[in-house]
Structures are given as structure tokens and as C-alpha cells.
Amino acid sequence: MKTIFFILLLLFTTVVTFAQEFVSEGIKTARIRQSEKDFSYPICQLGGALELQFDVLDDKYTDLIYSVRHCDCNFEPDDLSFSEFAEGFDFREIDSYENSFNTHQNFTHYTLRIPNNDLKLLISGNYIVTVYEDGDAEKPILRKRFMVYDFADNSKLKAEVSRPFISEYSFDCQQVAVRLKTDVQTKYVKVFAMQNKDFSTMRELEVSGYAPGEILYEKNDGNNLFKGGSEFEFFDGKDVHFRALGIDEIKYEYGLYSYKLSPFKPVDVSYSFQEDLNGAYYIKNDKGFSLDLEADYIKVLFRLKYDRYTENKIMILGEAFDENDEMSFNSESGFWEKEVLLKQGLYNFQFVEKTTAGEKNFLSGSWYNTENDYFFAVYTTLLKDPGDRLMFVKTVNSVKK
């Protein structure tokens, strides 16, 4: 391990760079979750544990170290020193890894448990973990968010999702409303909401009024409104020898299997229910025993039939995808296409049109009755406690009450 001389102020040149998640080329299937819980949020109670897992293809990166930072409620860096939010050591080696076997694509599977023998978190709040290559804290290759909360009892937070009252939004949006029982002054409390584990949707709710012992967040517009979107599409890629639902063609070429998905043509004239995972994915190889090590990587060709002219970006949306998954138009096939390297499993996805202003237009329409998960987080900022503390959280479904 290299000796690291490092000044925190030089780590990140801007707040935006620090706060954003990113995954470098050659790293795949990076996610933070509770151990053995595939669909859990990247969150645990203080004293609990999370695992960061990811694959490095073809030994592209070696000698990996990690660092953890405490952030404010907006996932922007605060001014807490390491000793104010953690015990132990920073910039330590990730020493838990295994090589793939029975796969065509070679990779190394890394697991980082938080907390561990070198790191114990002392306070709740938002965190970012960054992974660096070559034991060098100036070479970040991976950054992910996670959250730690104080109290398991969330009965003081009442949250619901409903159809908007204002007719302008009543067909394509969903409205969240929160009532918070607290004796803390309003200026020290912040409530955030997020849709389907998508941090790009996370926003602070505005106070709309007060009741005895309660703060109300029940505005009929603004940040209380979320686009309902549509149900996610999916494909089953667990078995490379069986053409499952959503797959048109399976090939083996250039040392890897490839899937050509059935072309998708969006229909936005009415809502259509479809059971989904709300954008999540599940790693699975039907022929293997170790999901992490025996699930192979597959080239997956997504195809979209979209005849409307647009100068906006056409993106694939879902937990397994990021800003790099922009589609391009293939004039020969007549489809919008994007090839993505994915690990064997079951995947949810959507196609969206992203405007220059960053707004997402769902190609299959947006509907008030779409089934979505909503995550609520309550933060406090008190003079006696350094940093923004995450008191408790709650998840509410728009359909399943």
C-alpha cells in the first residue's frame, strides 16, 4: 500500500463533482445495499451494516482503496472532519475480493462492508463512499451514495401518495403529503422525498402549514408533485440458452453471449398496469450457484421504435443504467439503439426523452395511477449536533396501502 499524503480540500474541485455518483469504464454492477437484500435501499440504521459490491472487468483496476465522507442533506460535502463522524482509519484497502469462474467475461468481484474493522460510523446522515485505484487518492474510479438514520420508530412521520387536487396535474402526476410530529423548531427540520430509489428525483418538501404538535408538508404543487411515469418494461436474461420473454435473439460471438431485445414501441394513449420492480434489477444465473461469481456478462441490444422527431436525448432509465446509456438512431434498422454490457439477471427499464433543461418525458406516457415507491427522509440540524442528522425514514407505495 502506498503512503498517502492527502489534503481533503484538494480532493474535489467542485461541490457538484463530489455530490454526483459515477462509475468508471471497466466497473460494472456497482450497488450499495443491505446484505442479502437485493431490493433494499442504500440505507441502514446507525449501528447496522451495508455492503458496496462491484465488478472490475479484466483486472482493469488494482490496489483499490476507499474513503467515506459525511455530507449535508443535499449530498453536498460538509465541513466535518473524519474524527467527527467516524472512528478508525480512512483511505484503507478493499481486501475482500474473489475472481469469477465459469464465465466468458473475466472479472473480480469486490465487497466492502460498512462498518468494518477499520471504520465505524458515529453519526447519522448522508454519506458518500469513493473508491480509488493504484492506492492513489487522486484517482477516483467509483462513487456511491448511502444513508444512515438514527431511529427505527418512524411513527411520527405520516406520509401518503394520492392523485393531485389541481386538475392541471391530475392525470399525469402523483402528489405526496407529509405530517410530521415534532417539538423541534421548523427551521431545524427538513423533509425530503424520492421516487423509486432514483436520487435524481430527491427533493426537499416545503412547509404548507401547522397543526398542534405537527408540521405539515401538504402543498398541492411544487416539489410535492412527481411525474407518475409508466410501469417499467423488463427482460429475463438469466439463462443464455433459453430465449425468454423480451428477447428476440441470442448469439455467441467474439467470446461473449449477446441478446437482441424485442423492439419496443411506446404507447401513451392510456395507462396499462404491469407488475414490475420499480426500476430495480436482480442478478441471477439459472445454471450457477454463486450469483456474484458465476453470473456472466452479456451484450444487450436495446431497440426502440420511436417515429416522432426529437432533438432531445433518448435515454434508458432504471437502476442498472446511468447518464452514459444514451440511445442513437440507426438509419439502417430504423430503431433507436443502445448496446449495454449487463450481468445475467432480470432487469427493469424505461425509455425517456431528456430535454436540454434536464426534464424527463416518459415515452409510454405519465399517469397518476402508476405504481411507484416513495421514500421519505427527515433531517435535523441542531447546534449541539455537528452536521445534518437523518432522524428516521419511511417508504410508502402509491397503490399498496
Model confidence over 311-352: pLDDT tens digits? Answer: 899 999 999 998 889 999 999 999 999 999 999 999 999 999
Q: What is the pLDDT of residue 288?
A: 76
Average per-residue pLDDT for the chain: 91
pLDDT of 383 higher than 80: no
Each residue of 315-331: b (16+ CB within 10 Å) or e?
bbbbbbbeeebebeeee
Pick the CATH number of 157-229+368-397 from 3.40.50, 2.60.40, 3.30.70, 3.30.1360: 2.60.40
Across the range 129-153, mean pLDDT stands at 94
SS3 154: coil
Across the range 301-319, mean pLDDT stands at 93
CB proximity list for 316: less than 8 A, separation 6 or greater: 302, 325, 327, 338, 340, 349, 350, 351
pLDDT of 1 higher than 50: no
Q: What is the pLDDT of residue 313?
A: 94
The letter for the amino acid at 186 is T
40-54, 89-103, 179-193, 296-310: range with lowest mean pLDDT = 179-193
Query: Domains of the chain: which residue ranges?
Result: 8-149, 157-229+368-397, 233-362
Q: Which fold has domain 8-149?
A: Immunoglobulin-like (2.60.40)
Q: What is the pLDDT of residue 73?
A: 95
The letter for the amino acid at 341 is L
pLDDT in tens, 253-273: 999 999 999 999 998 888 988
Each residue of 259-282: b (16+ CB within 10 Å) or e?
bbbeebebeeeebeeeebbbbbbe
What is the CATH class of 233-362? mainly beta
SS3 294: helix
pLDDT of 35 higher than 90: no
pLDDT in tens, 147-188: 999 998 999 999 999 999 999 999 999 999 999 998 877 788
CB proximity list for 337: less than 8 A, separation 6 or greater: 301, 302, 303, 304, 327, 328, 329, 330
Q: What is the pLDDT of residue 111?
A: 97
The whole-angstrom separation of Cα 296 and Cα 95 is 23
Q: What is the pLDDT of residue 14?
A: 29
Sign of the Cα pseudo-torsion (357, 363, 368, 371, in order): negative
Q: What is the pLDDT of residue 19?
A: 52
Percent of the chain clearing pLDDT 90 (strictly above):
78
Across the range 17-41, mean pLDDT stands at 85
CB proximity list for 308: less than 8 A, separation 6 or greater: none
Across the range 137-144, mean pLDDT stands at 94
Closest CA to 308 of 270, 264, 353, 339: 353
pLDDT of 299 higher than 60: yes
Q: What is the DSSP letter of 131?
A: E
The whole-angstrom separation of Cα 261 and Cα 349 is 12
How many helices and strands in the chain, by DSSP H and E?
3, 31
* Confidence tier at 232 by pLDDT (50, 70, 90): very high
How far CA 358 is from CA of 16, 221, 329, 366, in Å, comes to 15, 19, 20, 16
pLDDT of 10 higher than 60: no
pLDDT of 15 higher than 50: no
Write down the pTM of the prediction.
0.90
- Residue 174 phi/psi, 5-degree rounding, is -125, 145
pLDDT of 211 higher than 70: yes
pLDDT in tens, 61-105: 889 999 999 999 999 989 999 999 999 999 999 999 999 999 999
pLDDT in tens, 188-203: 899 999 999 999 999 9
* Confidence tier at 358 by pLDDT (50, 70, 90): confident
